[in-house]
Amino acid sequence: MPGITAYSSYVPRARLARRKIAEAWGSSPSAGDIAVANYDEDALTLAVEAALGCLGDEVAPDGLFFASTSSPYAEKQVASVVATVCDLPRSAQTADFAGSARAGVAALTAAANAVRAGARRDVVVAAADCRTAAPESEIEGLLGDAAAAVRVGADNVLAEIVDAAWVAEEFTHLWRTDDQRFVQSFAGKFSNTYGYARDIADAVRDLLDRNGLGVQDVAWFATAAPDTRAAVDLCRRLGFDATTQLVPPPVGAIGSAGCADPLLALGAALDRAAAGDRIVVAGYGEGAEAVLLQATAALPLRRAAVAWDAWVAAGTPLASYATYLRRRRIVPVEVAGEAINNVLEHQELKQDVRLYGSRCRDCGQVQYPVARVCIGCGARDRLVDHRLAKRGTVFTFTIDHLIANPELPLPMAVVDLDGGGRLFLQVTDFEADEVGIGCPVVLTWRRLHEGGGNRNYYWKARPVRGAGGGA
């Protein structure tokens, strides 16, 4: 039976207090924070972070599905980009799921069906959203940025994917047309009751009935939610105990992260579940989708490297609402512009995106970029491709106050990678005086510059923090 073989989350460090939004517009403040992506992050980069958290040194997956309602591209498959950055084989099946906040759950069931049918052996599902609401709108303080990934396979399963159920229905709740930048909404109690709660409840009831189960047979209910109260009301409608069975929805901790919400909640459930526990995960948007899983004996031994609670706790306050507006490019910011050449991009794909250098067959020297002559022993044409590590330490650095960048100053560091290789990189997600010689860093895929109507991405370095350096 197909199931989850690995799972991970990624939440940007910055948190914007909802009261700061209220203060900016002179409205009534509400409690809590929303997670805010950095200026060089978007749904693509968030998905890469989450997907990499599901990968190890074992055999690479042969599929990658990307789910988002806020893809940085209207026409360009992002799943292929994420798969390339993660160094998946060129034969991997890739697909984008979009159009609805339940696309993450849809991608999960599609991956499970592919594995069940034998069409794929091992699929990573990466769901990410970085949505923007109009300033001073009702939902501005509800949308947060985050990503979640699950790996679906048939071997070494942590939680079996037992069954799924669907509801398809036209109900306008959240939407964005092709000429709109900001998410639009019919928020409020009517939308929550007659859209969200009704559709999810119908899908969950169908799922349980088909499998001969009652709500008492489910240990954990993991669901997306427009707000925490709506999730509690949904539990009441279904008969779940909100205090013991409901996984606190992400919206209460980081805001609503769209496609990622159900998979973030699923990850939080897997952090808590014991062997044998049944989990129901549900997503909503123009209907609903509910999936039944059952934890195996392997789960307590192989949980996520960074738990959901650690991601929540790792947040740091964003300086101001104005900073948020700059990060979203709602107010003009100065950015470096450079047109992208697809010939050069193609030629350097392996070294710049997949992150390969060269290793000398004679002396073992590892170097970057790819070269023909060894810088260690001088051997010529004795170098082979070498996949570089994504961790290292700062060898030296400088602080650039003049570069065209949304946030200044910008540290530039020479990084010695674990296992060999040296790169010159921008540093991101840093605090004042945090960058120094010997500082451990992890490489992260980020937006570098924009030009010619396109975006260029490359690796940057961020300081290692938290458990496993993830948070």
| Sequence ranges of the domains in the chain | 3-327, 336-341+390-471
pLDDT computed for residue 334 by the predictor: 66
Let me know: does 280 contact 294? Beta carbons within 8 Å: no
pTM: 0.95
Q: How far is CA 187 from CA 136, 166, 192, 237, 362, in A?
A: 14, 23, 8, 20, 65
Structural Rg of the chain based on CA atoms: 22
Please state, in angstroms and rounded to a whole number, the distance separating the CA atoms of residues 413 and 429: 13
Widest CA span in the chain:
72
Give the model confidence (pLDDT) of 405-424 as tens digits: 888 899 999 999 999 999 99
Q: b/e per residue, 250-260, with b = 16+ CB within 10 A?
A: bbbbbbbbbbb
Let me know: does 151 contact 61? Beta carbons within 8 Å: yes
pLDDT computed for residue 59 by the predictor: 76
Please state, in angstroms and rounded to a whole number, the distance separating the CA atoms of residues 204 and 46: 29
In this structure, the chain runs to a length of: 471
pLDDT in tens, the chain (471 residues): 999 999 999 999 999 999 999 999 998 888 899 999 999 999 999 999 999 999 986 779 999 999 999 999 999 999 999 999 999 999 999 999 999 999 999 999 999 999 999 999 999 999 999 999 999 999 999 999 999 999 999 999 999 999 999 999 999 999 999 999 999 999 788 999 999 999 999 999 999 999 999 999 999 999 999 999 999 999 999 999 999 999 999 999 999 999 999 999 999 999 999 999 999 999 999 999 999 999 999 999 999 999 999 999 999 999 999 999 999 989 877 666 677 778 888 888 999 999 999 999 999 999 999 999 999 999 999 999 999 999 999 999 999 988 878 888 999 999 999 999 999 999 999 987 789 999 999 999 999 888 778 889 999 999 997 644 566
Residue 265 half-sphere exposure toward CB, CA atoms < 13 A: 33
pLDDT computed for residue 468 by the predictor: 44
- Crossing angle between the packed helical segments 43-52 and 78-85, to the nearest 10 degrees: 40
3-state secondary structure of 271: helix
What strands lie across the sheet with 383-387, from one edge to the other?
366-367, 356-360, 383-387
Q: Fold identical between 3-327 and 336-341+390-471?
A: no
Assess if CATH 2.60.40 describes domain 336-341+390-471: no
Report, in this order, helix, strand and coil percent for the chain, each rounded to 5: 25, 30, 45
pLDDT computed for residue 393 by the predictor: 97
Handedness of CA 39, 42, 44, 48 (dihedral sign): positive
Class of domain 3-327: alpha beta
